[in-house]
Amino acid sequence: MNWYAIRAIYGFEMARTRRTLMQSIASPVISTSLYFVVFGSAIGSRMVEIDGISYGAFIIPGLIMLSLLNESISNASFGIYFPRFSGTIYEVLSAPVSPLEIVMGYVGAAASKSVILGLLILATARLFVDYHIAHPVWMLAFLVTTAVTFSLFGFIIGIWADGFEKLQIVPMMLVTPLTFLGGSFYSINMLPPLWQTITLFNPVVYLISAFRWSFYGVADVAVGVSIAAILGFLLLCLGGIFWIFRTGYRLKQ
């Protein structure tokens, strides 16, 4: 293992975050806070409880997931896309590093940022709503696994993209709608039966459901099923990355 290289890439990416602190940390925290103000405190106080949880508390896991998914994808995709775009990728390609080390550096940094961000949002939420976490270890495990999985996914997008607009398309056109429709703001049990079935094809449902379970001990989908779905998606992303490096897809001529 070339640990120095992993550290160099990781450190480089984290330094980029520090340079753009406003954009990478402050803005998601602020925008999520707005949700808490509006849905948690203002409207939330007039909403009925869901599964015995106040509405403000109910939406916390979903909102964290929303930020976590978007930030993981955008951090990781930008992290690898930008060197490809600027040409500085030559150095990584010519260095004695294995694909695994490259991924550990870039994806590790992107996932770390998202986890930090998720925890910051969680802390911020405390200012607006009261909540408790039933299974903190599981909560952290879901947070980290989801951050890693979607950073891997972002890495794949960053390699697939051949323009900046494509970097935006997936988070905007796919992840945000799926998160909104995946039960961030409601329990899918509140939907009519047909829509409940359709919703089960939305992978984000499993993420949110499991994550909410770690908070409040209630879930839309059985936790075991959710864990299987999350791990399945993780393996899918790992497979994609394995294929990219084996074929040199969009990395080498």
Partner 1 sequence: MTGIIQVDGLNKLYRGGFQALRDVNLSIRKGEIFALLGPNGAGKTTLISIICGIVTPSSGTVLADGHDIVSDYRAARSRIGLVPQELTTDAFESVWNTVSFSRGLFGKPRDDAHIEKVLRDLSLWDKRNNRLLELSGGMKRRVMIAKALSHEPQILFLDEPTAGVDVELRRDMWEMVSSLREAGVTIILTTHYIEEAEAMADRIGVIRKGELILVEDKTTLMDKLGQKELRLQLTEPLERIPDALGRAGLSLSDDGYRLTYSYDAHSEQGSVAAVLRQLNELGIEFSDLQSRQSSLEDIFVSLVHEEVA
Nearer to partner 1, 38 or 95 (CB): 95
Spell out the residues 6+ positions from residue 124 whose beta carbon is closer than 8 angstroms to its own. 29, 32, 33, 36
Pick one of 38, 235, 248, 249: the residue that binds partner 1 (CB under 8 A).
248
Nearer to partner 1, 21 or 95 (CB): 95
**DSSP SS3 for 200:** coil
Nearer to partner 1, 78 or 142 (CB): 78
96 binds partner 1 (CB under 8 A): yes
Nearer to partner 1, 45 or 247 (CB): 247
Per the CB < 8 A criterion, the answer to whether 13 and 105 are in contact is yes
Pick one of 26, 38, 93, 190: the residue that binds partner 1 (CB under 8 A).
93
90 binds partner 1 (CB under 8 A): yes
How far is Cα 134 from Cα 169, in angstroms, rounded to an integer? 36
Nearer to partner 1, 46 or 252 (CB): 252
Stretch that binds partner 1, among 7-15, 30-38, 59-67, 125-133 (CB under 8 A): 7-15
Pick one of 18, 46, 246, 252: the residue that binds partner 1 (CB under 8 A).
252
18 binds partner 1 (CB under 8 A): no
How far is Cα 53 from Cα 196, in angstroms, rounded to an integer? 21
8 binds partner 1 (CB under 8 A): yes
Name residues contacting partner 1, limited to 63-82 (CB under 8 A). Answer: none
DSSP state of 53: B
Structure token pair of residue 121: 């949002």
Q: Distance of alpha carbon 121 from its chain centroid, rounded? A: 13
Shortest Cβ 2–partner 1 spacing (Å): 4
Q: Count residues contacting partner 1 (CB under 8 A)? A: 26
Per the CB < 8 A criterion, the answer to whether 9 and 103 are in contact is no
Spell out the residues 6+ positions from residue 241 whose beta carbon is closer than 8 angstroms to its own. 99, 103, 152, 155, 156
How far is Cα 90 from Cα 19, in angstroms, rounded to an integer? 23
